Structure 1
Amino acid sequence: MATSPRPGVLRFPVVALVASAGGLDALTRVLARLPADLPAAVVVAQHVSPDRVSLLAEILAQRTALRVRAAVDGDELVVGTALVVPTARHLIVTSQARIGLLDTGALPPSRPSADLLLATLAVMCGPRVLAVVLTGKGSDAQAGVRAVVHCGGTVFAQDEITSAYFGMPGSAIDTGLVHDVLALPDIAAAIRAHAHR
């Protein structure tokens, strides 16, 4: 019987793509340029109203060579697979380096929370984390960026010119901790290069 991974034992990078308004286009354009054999696990979180049905996983699955599916509580992080946070849930990474899904409730207003995702991913996966902050309103991900860098990970942010909304990436950049600010067409290549390091 296979045992669950212990904290800190993942041997591959984990890429977290976080977005809000304008995110479908940005996520599609990034994921479309990632190969099926990407040597990293991917987690995708886009803010969605909890009372709406989201087809994000199904849409993205048609536009990338990666395996894409909605995350399920207890899932493992797997190389070459993108797990999408389902509607009305927050996603955390547990002490066994597995996915934990939490009901959102009425607060916080950002659903799913990029901060919760990035902070727990940072603590559990440390320097193997690459956080990519894409277009979106508000400042969700700012605390998560601080956690990722504090734990030795890397952060990319989308630039203002190619962002439909610059709130999230701008707030990330304002921390002074973002490693690279990239135009949307350049993000996938940067992820590929990072994953192969």
Structure 2
Amino acid sequence: ARLAEADAGGGGSKAILEGGASYEGGWLTGQKHGEGILVLPDGARYEGQFKHDKKSGKGVYNYPSGSTYLGQWCCDLQDGQGEERWADGSVFTGDFQAGEKHGRGKFVWSTLCRYEGEFDHNDMHGEGVYTWNDGRGYTGQWTRNTMCPKGSMWWSDGRAYEGEFLDGRKHGEGVLRWPDGRSYSGQWSE
């Protein structure tokens, strides 16, 4: 229940909501609807579109930690295209579904390591490319944030491996090539 009366006829007004949140914006039949600003007691702030009392449409959510999300919402969850930024400088841009990174996206960490590819329920999962800040890289298949089962890895010194991986390590059939032309083809177990 609202502690301050809001315009239930579709206009806009301010209200202090139960639990201490405040809302200023459009209303429809007693529910947040249209453009509005919601400020929660912990300092979180959402500015954007509402539909039937829920964040739906385009909006910006500022977390008390300094992180932000700008993008699409559905039923109070991040859903559709969006960009999430953390206070440490890390950035994710891509697809969200039901509040999780899901689909295609690009994640650049504050350490300048980066991943571009498929996500499944917040995990790097499917096809993707990961590059480390020391010049190493991997392109291939991912299983729940782990390089697995097949892909190619390269190092800044010119070495390159193509083959099978298990738990993020060379494992199974693969070929390692050195910059001087040498190579080893066979079974790996790291």
TM-score (structure 1 length as normaliser): 0.23
* Larger RCO: 1 or 2 (CA < 8 Å, sep 6+): 1
Return the index of the structure with the highest Cα Rg: 2
TM-score (structure 2 length as normaliser): 0.23
